[in-house]
Amino acid sequence: MTVKALRARIQLLTTAWMVWKVATKRVGPVGGLVVTVVVIGGLVYLRPWLAENVPAVGRIIGDT
């Protein structure tokens, strides 16, 4: 695993933790899990499109 790939995974884990903490306060633990899965799944699925079409977001999330 390269450093870039490791950094991307750590960033994704950090984002998931942040979404989980905020969502559980608003919608409870089960709702927080659903919100976290939707947000992280959407980010992983849309990452290539965002990196190509929205340069500001592409720089933040990287090209991995």
Contact 13, 40 (CB under 8 A): no
Q: Kindly state the tokens that stand for 8.
A: 């991307």
**Which residues 6+ apart lie within 8 Å of 19 measured at CB?**
35, 36, 39, 40
| pLDDT for residue 3 | 87
CA angle 25, 13, 52 (to 5 degrees): 110
| 4-59 per-position pLDDT tens digit | 888 888 888 999 999 999 999 999 999 999 999 999 998 888 888 888 888 787 77
What are the structural domain ranges in the chain? Answer: 3-61
Give the Cα separation of 33 and 1 in Å (integer): 28
Confidence (pTM)? 0.74
